[in-house]
Amino acid sequence: MSGRRTFPVCTTVALAAALAAGCSSPSSGPGEAPTHAGEVRGGAAPSAAAPYWVDPDSDAARQVRIWEKQGRTEDAKILKRISTRPVADWPAGDEPAAGIRAAVRGAARRDQSVLLVAYNIPHRDCGAYSAGGAADADVYRGWIGAFADAIGNAPATVVLEPDALPHIVDGCTPAKNHDERFMLLSEAVGTLRKLPRTKVYIDAGNPDWINDPSKLAEPLRRAGIDRADGFALNVANFQSNATVRSYGARLSALVGGAHFVIDTSRNGNGPLSGDRAEAWCNPPGRALGTPPATRTGDDGLDAYLWIKRPGDSDGTCRGGPAAGTWWPDYALGLATRAKS
C-alpha cells in the first residue's frame, strides 16, 4: 500500500438474486454516459445525477433492509444516502465476466450505464493492504480481454487501474516493472476503447500523493492518455473538490487538454487535518461528498463519481476490518455527516 489509499482485495458485482457477494459487494440514474461535450452516446440525455446503475443488492442496500427489520428506521433512512446512489463496481480479480454481465443486465433493464473499476494489474499495491493482481502480463491480458468482452455493446465507464501510475512515480513499483506496466495500461486502453459505448479514465492519484502534476504527464502519455477519455483523480481519497479541480486543470494542460473525473465518495469534510499517520486509512470524522453527477459546470470535468465504495474499509487501521470489507458503522458515520 502506498500510504495514500487502499482498495478491495476480493470484490464482486452483486445483483439481487443473481450473484453471491465475495469479500463485499459493490453498488454502482437514467440515460448513458455523456461524451466530453456533454452529449450522449446512444441518444438519451443525461440527468443532473450520474446516469449509472444502482445495485439493488449492494452491501449498503442489504444493510438498510437489515436495519429496517431491526427497527433501526432512522439509521436505515440515513444509510439510503449511500444505497440509493450509483457507486462503482469492482469486478472480481480472478473472474470478472460474470459480475460485469450481471451488472450490465441490471443496468439494461433501466436503460442505464455501468460504472466499473479495472483493478488487477500485476504487482498491485506494492505488496500492501490490497496486494495481488494478475500473476503476469499474459494473465492480465486475458483478464482485461474478459472484462471488455463482458461489457460488449453496453454503455459503460471504466476507471483503469487505481494506484498503477502513481506507484511508478513515487518509486514504490520497482523500475524493472515499469515498462511492462506502461505497456499493459496502454493495451488495456486500446482494448476497452474498441468497445462502442465504453469510456476509459486512467487513474492519476491525488494532489496529496503526487503534489507536482508534471511528474504524471509522461507516465499518462505512455499509458495511452491520448486514446483514453481522460484521467481519474482522488480515488479512495479525501481531498476537497476545489483542490482536486485545480490540480486536474493543471494536469490536463500538460496532457493535451484531457478531461477528468473526480471521486467524491468520501471527501465531504476534506482530508484529515494535521500530519497524522495513515491519514488516508479509515480517517474519523469524514463525510460523503458531492453526489454523483455528470453536470459539473466545468468543461474539463466530466463527472463527480463515487468510485471508492463508501463504507468499505481501507484496511486494518483505526479498528477497521480488512481492506474492502463492508463496515456498517463507518458507512453510517459518512452518511450522517453528509451535507446532501
- CA dist., res. 196 & res. 106, Å (int): 19
Identify which of 20, 21, 24 has the alpha carbon closest to the alpha carbon of residue 7.
24
**Which single residue is written with the C-alpha cell 479514465?**
201
263 labelled catalytic: no
As to burial, measured by CB atoms within 10 angstroms (0-12 exposed, 13-18 middle, 19+ buried), residue 150 is buried
Catalytic residue from among 75, 163, 229, 312: 163
- Residue 17 φ/ψ region, left for φ over 0, alpha for ψ in the -120 to 50 degree band, beta for the rest: left
User: Are the C-beta atoms of residues 88 and 305 closer than 8 Å to each other?
Assistant: yes
User: Are the C-beta atoms of residues 323 and 315 closer than 8 Å to each other?
Assistant: yes
Catalytic residue from among 55, 57, 89, 125: 125
Written in H, E and C, the secondary structure of 141-203 is HHHHHHHHHHHCCCCEEEEECCCHHHHHHCCCCCHHHHHHHHHHHHHHHHHHHCCCCEEEEEE
170 labelled catalytic: no
Active site residues: 125, 163, 314
